[in-house]
Structure 1
């Protein structure tokens, strides 16, 4: 009964229900949210870091980067120092562009001498009236045990994030490139990138790598596969260092996978004995105060969302990256840093798939202690929830108004007895929504004005523009308040209900936005929520005129102190930086970090474990959206067939260029191919010679596998290009012998295919032609053709579904001359699903075609460190010492005729590098392989 009576009393007290109770709940949400955050550094709420991805195995390998490599380092450093100081030493005025060109040439010569493929890229950005331009130099080590589908990036900018010369960092990268090239253990390509600075150069390169660059940035002539991770080296001084400072903050609050950070800490501290710091906390003693300070510093950088180094440019493309900065004076030298990077690369080299096991949302408070999103998220949600509570209370309040109470009971009425309920003192009121909704939407759209202004004025006017907006923020609310309260002849004064509706809509929108933002950028949501907290409790005051004037003035001052321009000025004053510098950095981020501003879609690289369902869930879209976004994407087969390393769209926009394939000789995936002016012309780029077709994997041939549209984009272009024409439309039965390099334009086997119009006319012809034995001489081409009686019948081009062996991933086997899968090698691959009787016997020295045959089997002999190939008959190797089998099964025969009775036969399944043992077939005279192994 007591509870029922209390509820009844609440219903009879509207002021308590609609004003006091919501204010109390909102205040409690704010207090609990702040206290929750302050509790996070305690051991009870934080956890020790750990490695989730077992394949990383940090510190489990021995690093050999030492000894003579230090002499190489010193030699490279002396050469680079000589170029940088050349102008000063000679006393002449050497042009900066000339020095840059000389340094770039030297970098290229060093990398080429080490055996790497080298390329350069020029770029230019303009932001806030400032032009950023330079030239990137990069080189690629192709993995001896990989297939160019995955890569690791090592970045060494000439200028660090603090604008210091990074000579030692660049030199160390060159030394590591020479050192890594001599190892055959890499299963992923390694890319060495040297940029002019830590922001523009890296951003230009990574944008061009994913074909998201503007016209002012050159495309990349060399590419590799999907980037699995990136490490940035910063060593800006000549003396030895004491600790490594690991920088991990990305743009817009993005963070790398926690496993990458933990691996760097484990290797530096556990294996190399080098201390690891974060957030510039040099004397961290693991106390509560230092943990809290470290967490606040990380939250500040995450909330501001600016780039903290070259690694930040990789984050928007879902590439985990960190920067290793050397700090202090100690006894660690460049060799210790090199061994740390070597061990890190070895760990990344072990990965079987992209890092995904550990956290992407976390707060670090020590190098070995963190808080996950499930623990810290409630603090921001509570602060965002207070706005929602107040918005709902105001909405309910505007639907009711109190009834006037009678002055006294009439004499002829009896007073109500104690047991009966009193009549309700509130009634339902009609809400007037037009003005509040229009005002809230209009004021929010007004926020686009400063966004446009600050991104379209020159940097020297930023400070003046900021003070102008401060003045506008003071005057505009007063002007609007005067119009809404008094009308001033422009409109009728609004009623109190509309005031409450305006505030309700504003708080509701704020609460919803902060709740959503908290899941993406917790720190920014928390900071905005705290700054906006007073808005929940500011309301119209009652009382005498002097009291209202004083309190209103105080509230106006408080609101202006919390406005964005005033907060910006206060933070700049406290940090000792200029407003111009901060806004220039913000404008650069808006102009450069937005990858889709030129109309391109948001590009995603398919990983080995991806499905459309997983991709859609991770990016808050549907599988139907993915199908719709990729209607025009090159080689899109739908969600049923995804291939690792392919580019797909996860938003509307222009589709990306397909990823370049290192061995492609035709089609748009030839390295260095630029985007065509018309997307429909994509398939016709880099065409094959006449009578050959370009398959989607970038090789020319004449088989069905090459000449049928297995992976063609639906919008216009096809993946099959036969020279400059289409596939043949006719077929001849009979015996034909021809000599020469080119066939005459006649109907028959081997004839040059007709153009589109001719092909269509031939296909429409229903007549049959008979001819006698004839001899035709074509003087222009000196070709003589002798034919017997033949019967020719025009036929339509074959449909893609009628191929003898529908396309799938091929079986591949690589046979090496040396153990450890090194040296010269045979490479065979095919698309037959089952073992082929008779024609399925593949004799290594039996005239196997180095181009694709009708069964889709090819054999090549690679030499000169995989730079030169010829037919398999050119090799005398009969006893391979090691081999790798992928995607199928093979039987090895000691006899060329695949006779399992007169010779030795061994059956092999897919595995990694297999070194020859005593039980293996003594010599590989022939093979029989298939995808299914039957």
Structure 2
């Protein structure tokens, strides 16, 4: 007889032994989310095709998904008050214009006389006037100052009289303010070669400045900057902003000190009086709530409307709050009868393939409304084509990372700013038309300032991340990110699929994952190639040290040094054979990470980069593994994926091809690094290394 405990133990052991064969045949059940992940990885090719196709379709449908703009901040109340600008304000502006014109025609020393004349009129209106002197600054690439402001790495020339320019700054102290907030008006002009359009822009600012010195509702100070743009519109505003935000102690600077531009002409006796009332020390106000840059462009079409062009893109794709654009657009259209537009890519307006897509969208919309009248899908062909042309222009300007005007200098200090460029009708040269033009321009500026004056806090209600398809339609970040996410979604799926296939081909790695070194060598290869990209991004700084070098020679030196460094680094990983599937898995993973990081910095650059990089990373295979058709497709994708080739293809497709392609490409790169554009970092440290790795995978059996 066995004891009871032993009897129970023997029964348990026999039952467990009996159930063992059944459990071994059954696979362990995973959680639903894990089973979905395994299914997606197992069908990575199908997922990649579906996601990439859906991403391109979503990108083409963005003009259809655009929404109407509206003012989100109720406190702005655009157009709620009647304009207060009167005949005397416009009469004074006309007199100011006549004096500017006569001085431009008679005097030979307008470089200093025009700023003094502007200061005289600012002071007569009751403003606190000061001069701001700054030097000519040359944009130059410097790696240590790359992510600082645009002028941080500038090269200052010798301090001579000719290198100085003078901004004239007038400040209106608000009667209902403690001086802690301000609104800025900027009128760029070239005192050495003053044009009639610049005279008109100064006149519009004068009429608005005149009425703002008399109103009682002003709660924020008004700063009017007559920006000396002989060295560039951006440089003048950027220099003033830098000095405005940098504390200075003592050291007054005379406008015509050190013998610069000093004159004893009797004609200037009236201007000399104002020198006692104008400070040579920079005057300050409070935090800037918003800034408006006023410009007058060339005349428009005969008999057409006055047109207002709005430019908003700043460095690295930064945009002002959408409410600022909405307020100006609303006041211009419904208050002053302007035709408001934003920049569009004109060459796309006659595109046949874009019109074909518009026809398809319009037809689908008609069918959808016939099935259900509440389905408001689809837009007319003309509206789709114009929206697409505007969308492409907005994407390009944001991806370029270069400001489209001097308003970009304000975004570097987190100040919402736009450039308002007014194009009058051809008949604006007449005296009566000029008076009307000054009236309407002054009312527009007054209305915009009055709306911003109502704010008790900074702009925050509306969007900062958006794309424009017209002056009154936009695409928010929640919509346009869908296309990007669909494009990059196949990358981690493919990386996981390659990892799974590698483990299946080598079962020992599943049992000893930490003892397998197979992943070390492809990771080392990818790291060295990205290190090469970082070195390539720094080469222009040293190339610029070569005296008297031409753009073509600089580009050839850059390409030669890059190839030489790549050859040297290649010797570190060519001795060890790297499995191409593992190398592709790591390459795809780094491309995914790089694109996602870039989408946070500049979405437009990441979107365009994904269109070029994702198909290449997904399709690339070695020559021996891929078939003939697949190899030909790989070759086409690799050629188009090269930054220089992609630049040439885009320029040719959009009708921008002018001069030598190599020289144009070098100038384009110069503009990127001179303006500290993050697109340059993306090209050198993400796109170019991934392209080289794809070449390495393509030629894997030959290396």
Pairwise same-fold verdict (TM > 0.5): yes
Cα shift at 1:374: 1.0
2:494 to 386, 390, 397: 390
Contact 1:454 1:587 in 2 (8 A): no
Cα shift at 1:32: 0.9
Contact 1:127 1:591 in 2 (8 A): no
Asked if 1:107 is matched to 2:118, the reply is yes
- Separation (CA, whole Å) in 1 of partners of 2:447 and 2:418: 15
Specify the alignment match of 1:346 in structure 2. Answer: 450
Specify the alignment match of 1:566 in structure 2. Answer: 645
Cα shift at 1:299: 1.0
- Separation (CA, whole Å) in 2 of partners of 1:209 and 1:285: 49
Specify the alignment match of 1:31 in structure 2. Answer: 53
2:139 to 127, 136, 148: 127
Asked if 1:188 is matched to 2:224, the reply is no
Asked if 1:246 is matched to 2:310, the reply is yes
1:84 to 92, 104, 107: 104
- Separation (CA, whole Å) in 1 of partners of 2:156 and 2:667: 12
Q: 1:178 and 1:543, CA in 2 relative to 1: closer, same or farther beyond 3 A?
A: closer
SS class of match (2:497): helix
- Separation (CA, whole Å) in 2 of partners of 1:447 and 1:477: 9
After the TM superposition, which residues 300-699 of structure 1 pair with which residues of structure 2 at under 5 Å, given as runs? Answer: 300-327=396-423, 329=425, 333-401=437-505, 430-455=516-541, 457-458=543-544, 461-470=550-559, 487=574, 491=575, 493-496=576-579, 499-533=580-614, 534-542=616-624, 555=634, 558-571=637-650, 574-576=655-657, 578-579=664-665, 581-590=667-676
Contact 1:249 1:307 in 2 (8 A): yes
Specify the alignment match of 1:757 in structure 2. Answer: none
Cα shift at 1:464: 3.0
Deviations 1:80-99 (CA, angstroms, capped at 9, x unpaired)? 22333335xxxxxx5xxx53
2:183 to 138, 152, 158: 152
Question: Which segments of 5 or more consecutive residues in structure 2 lack a partner in the other structure?
Answer: 1-25, 31-37, 141-154, 158-162, 254-279, 350-379, 428-435, 659-663, 681-703
Q: 1:261 and 1:210, CA in 2 relative to 1: closer, same or farther beyond 3 A?
A: same
Specify the alignment match of 1:234 in structure 2. Answer: 295
Contact 2:71 2:326 in 1 (8 A): yes
Asked if 1:278 is matched to 2:342, the reply is yes
Contact 1:470 1:565 in 2 (8 A): no
TM-score (norm 2): 0.68
SS class of match (1:268): helix
Q: 1:348 and 1:587, CA in 2 relative to 1: closer, same or farther beyond 3 A?
A: same
Cα shift at 1:470: 5.0
Contact 1:151 1:228 in 2 (8 A): yes
Deviations 1:366-395 (CA, angstroms, capped at 9, x unpaired)? 222222111111111121222222222223
- Separation (CA, whole Å) in 2 of partners of 1:310 and 1:543: 53
Q: 1:281 and 1:347, CA in 2 relative to 1: closer, same or farther beyond 3 A?
A: farther
Contact 2:234 2:406 in 1 (8 A): yes
Deviations 1:544-591 (CA, angstroms, capped at 9, x unpaired)? 9xx78x976874564243222333454556523534543443243129
- Separation (CA, whole Å) in 2 of partners of 1:347 and 1:442: 55
Cα shift at 1:267: 0.6
Decide which structure has greater strand share: 1
- Separation (CA, whole Å) in 2 of partners of 1:532 and 1:212: 46
Q: 1:516 and 1:480, CA in 2 relative to 1: closer, same or farther beyond 3 A?
A: closer
Q: 1:86 and 1:590, CA in 2 relative to 1: closer, same or farther beyond 3 A?
A: farther
Give me the CA root mean square deviation. 3.9
Asked if 1:65 is matched to 2:85, the reply is yes
Point out the more displaced range, 288-297 or 558-567.
Answer: 558-567
Contact 1:168 1:236 in 2 (8 A): no
- Separation (CA, whole Å) in 2 of partners of 1:588 and 1:51: 36
- Separation (CA, whole Å) in 2 of partners of 1:245 and 1:286: 20
Contact 1:77 1:168 in 2 (8 A): yes
Asked if 1:52 is matched to 2:72, the reply is yes
Decide which structure has greater helix share: 2
Cα shift at 1:593: 14
Q: 1:182 and 1:18, CA in 2 relative to 1: closer, same or farther beyond 3 A?
A: closer
SS class of match (1:222): coil
Q: 1:135 and 1:435, CA in 2 relative to 1: closer, same or farther beyond 3 A?
A: farther
Specify the alignment match of 1:289 in structure 2. Answer: 385
- Separation (CA, whole Å) in 2 of partners of 1:558 and 1:593: 21
Q: 1:518 and 1:543, CA in 2 relative to 1: closer, same or farther beyond 3 A?
A: closer
- Separation (CA, whole Å) in 2 of partners of 1:151 and 1:344: 14
Q: 1:260 and 1:32, CA in 2 relative to 1: closer, same or farther beyond 3 A?
A: same
Question: Which segments of 5 or more consecutive residues in structure 1 lack a partner in the other structure?
Answer: 9-15, 88-93, 404-423, 595-934
Specify the alignment match of 2:322 in structure 1. Answer: 258
- Separation (CA, whole Å) in 1 of partners of 2:295 and 2:245: 25
1:143 to 174, 187, 190: 174
After the TM superposition, which residues 722-737 of structure 1 pair with which residues of structure 2 at under 5 Å, given as runs? Answer: none
Contact 1:517 1:525 in 2 (8 A): yes
Contact 2:388 2:469 in 1 (8 A): yes
Contact 1:394 1:504 in 2 (8 A): yes
Deviations 1:31-75 (CA, angstroms, capped at 9, x unpaired)? 111111212222xx3322111100100011111324233322221
SS class of match (2:537): helix
SS class of match (1:187): coil
Q: 1:233 and 1:180, CA in 2 relative to 1: closer, same or farther beyond 3 A?
A: same
Cα shift at 1:234: 0.5
- Separation (CA, whole Å) in 1 of partners of 2:40 and 2:72: 49
- Separation (CA, whole Å) in 1 of partners of 2:562 and 2:549: 22
Contact 1:253 1:521 in 2 (8 A): yes
- Separation (CA, whole Å) in 1 of partners of 2:476 and 2:502: 41
Q: 1:120 and 1:373, CA in 2 relative to 1: closer, same or farther beyond 3 A?
A: same
Deviations 1:151-200 (CA, angstroms, capped at 9, x unpaired)? 0000101169xx97622112322332233112222100000012123211
- Separation (CA, whole Å) in 1 of partners of 2:334 and 2:677: 41
Contact 2:42 2:497 in 1 (8 A): no
Cα shift at 1:517: 2.9
1:169 to 180, 192, 201: 201
Cα shift at 1:358: 0.8
- Of structures 1 and 2, the one with the larger relative CO (CA 8 A, separation 6+) is 2
Cα shift at 1:345: 0.5
SS class of match (1:324): strand
- Separation (CA, whole Å) in 1 of partners of 2:542 and 2:126: 46
Deviations 1:582-630 (CA, angstroms, capped at 9, x unpaired)? 3443243129999xxxxxxxxxxxxxxxxxxxxxxxxxxxxxxxxxxxx
TM-score (norm 1): 0.52
Contact 2:528 2:569 in 1 (8 A): no
After the TM superposition, which residues 777-926 of structure 1 pair with which residues of structure 2 at under 5 Å, given as runs? Answer: none
Contact 1:245 1:280 in 2 (8 A): no
What is the number of equivalent residue pairs in this alignment? 536
Specify the alignment match of 2:44 in structure 1. Answer: 22
SS class of match (1:400): helix
After the TM superposition, which residues 736-755 of structure 1 pair with which residues of structure 2 at under 5 Å, given as runs? Answer: none
Cα shift at 1:259: 0.7
- Separation (CA, whole Å) in 1 of partners of 2:247 and 2:40: 53
